[in-house]
Homo-oligomer: A and B are copies of this chain.
């Protein structure tokens, strides 16, 4: 008999005959004359009611997390999930009985500390509240690609083993590459720019690596970067508009594909304004009451600005444009009217920096000047500069950190909760 997913059980009410579900024994409750078994599959939960003494005895040997096939009769029941439960079942274990798991997955919450949850990630991700977090992440990736595919972007994959560090020598992981020294890519920045010279519009969803020596709630040594770069722009505001549309598609796709997950974790999805409000860095510094010479915003400043955007524009998002050139990478395009500032932005989401983006330099001579000003050797950037030497359109782009986005959406205390198998200063396993 073909398998019915738990979520499809209500649709079986009008049929006669039996159904088969397959999944994990999520919870057993053995009462005096009846045993309730809750089955968990990828779609949700279903309740099975066992009264036959022989089947009850069999089920008593099958601990939670045993994988089973259950065939029985679906009937309406007000108390069961979806209004349908299965009675008169036969139960077939598909795997040898499980050992009781280290975490009681049937409880509403995990009830363990973060380190314990991470140590047992192979099991804790089975918990419905954990699964829901990742389903929001997966839908975010799908939505990101949907927008870019529809906007004429080409997906690219760039090397993660690179011969030079992307932007500076700091915080890179070196590795032995057949006797030479190579590095793990900190971002696809240089490659995505090169490829803008090929396909005009490119995106990549892939891992990036930062040898972050900080043990904080918001840093990971490896994370997923949603990268975009495209040409024939006027300035960074075209980049911000594209980012706006990508975020809108991500939220729409979360609603469409992970609506139940959003409910499970109680996430408040943002509405994305048609125009994301923009404030210049200079004005932002004034607004938060910092010294005009301050070169960057602190997390406290960002929180303040987030609250300000919410009350002033009813927006969860605020773009801060014009960051000082000194705090931006060498490839950042200056603000034409005043080169102390740049055509770049940070996007704050609920008072936290979510995205960095902007316009890049596109003239070869400007690259040589920018590298010289920082005392960097152009030879280190030879293939990148070759692209610039032979005609690059005005271009720009941005990168969204997937885990940071999901952590903020789900109000996770720690970014590790939004990562399937986080990597940090102390954690290499699982």
How many copies, total?
A: 2
Chain B residues near A145 (CB-CB < 8 A): 142, 145
A313 within 8 A of partner (CB):
no
- Pairs A-B, 6 closest by C-beta atoms: A383-B430, A163-B428, A65-B391, A175-B175, A98-B391, A42-B200
Size of the A side of the interface (Cβ < 8 Å), in residues, is 94
Smallest CB gap from A138: residue in B: B155
CA–CA, A15 and B140, complex, Å: 40
Q: How far is the CB of A385 from chain B (nearest CB, A)?
A: 9
Cross-interface CB contact of A122 among B24, B164, B194, cutoff 8 Å = B194
Partner of A94, one of B154, B184, B393, B428: B393
Residue pair B67, A392 in contact (C-beta under 8 Å): yes
A209 beta carbon closer than 8 Å to chain B: yes
- Complex Cα distance A175/B211, Å? 12
Given the complex, which residues of B lie within 8 Å of A402, measured CB to CB?
157
Contact with B along A178-205 (1 / 0, CB 8 A): 1010101000000100110111110001
Task: Find chain B residues with CB under 8 A from A232 CB.
Answer: 3, 22, 94
Question: A373 on the interface (CB 8 Å rule)?
Answer: no
Residues on A lying within 8 angstroms of B by beta carbon are 3, 22, 24-25, 41-43, 65-67, 94-96, 98-99, 101-102, 120-123, 125-126, 131, 134-135, 138, 141-142, 145, 149, 152, 154-164, 173-178, 180, 182, 184, 191, 194-195, 197-201, 205-207, 209, 211, 213, 221-222, 224, 232, 362-365, 382-384, 386-387, 389-394, 402, 420-421, 423, 425-426, 428-430
Q: A95-B394, A157-B224 are in contact. Are A184 and B175 (CB under 8 A)?
A: yes
Docked-complex contact B384 and A198, CB < 8 angstroms = no
Complex formed: what's the CA distance from A275 to B237 in Å?
Answer: 51
Instruction: Indicate if the CB atoms of A160 and B200 lie closer than 8 Å.
Output: no
Pair B173/A173 contact, Cβ less than 8 Å: no
**CB–CB A391/B24 < 8 A:** yes
Closest CB of chain B to A172's CB: distance in Å? 10
Contact A390:B176 (CB < 8 A) given known A138-B156, A159-B222: no
Which residues from B are CB-within-8-Å of A389?
98-99
Q: How far is the CA of A167 from the CA of B360 in the complex (A)?
A: 43
Complex interface: chain B residues within 8 A of A95 (CB): 362-363, 391-394
Q: Is the pair B428, A198 in contact by a Cβ cutoff of 8 Å?
A: no
The chain B residue with its CB closest to the CB of A125 is B198
A22-B393, A390-B65 known; A207 vs B209 contact (CB < 8 Å):
no
**A102, A180, A420, A425 — most chain B CB neighbours (10 Å):** A420
Q: Which residues of the partner chain B approach A206 to less than 8 Å between Cβ atoms? A: 206-207
Task: Determine whether the beta carbon of A428 is less than 8 Å from that of B162.
Answer: yes
A132 to chain B, nearest CB (A): 11
8 example contacts (A-B, Cβ-Cβ < 8 A) are as follows A120-B386, A123-B197, A123-B386, A126-B198, A145-B145, A158-B421, A160-B160, A161-B173
Task: Return chain B residues, CB-CB under 8 Å to A224.
Answer: 157
Q: Which of A145, A205, A402, A423 has the most CB of B within 10 A?
A: A423
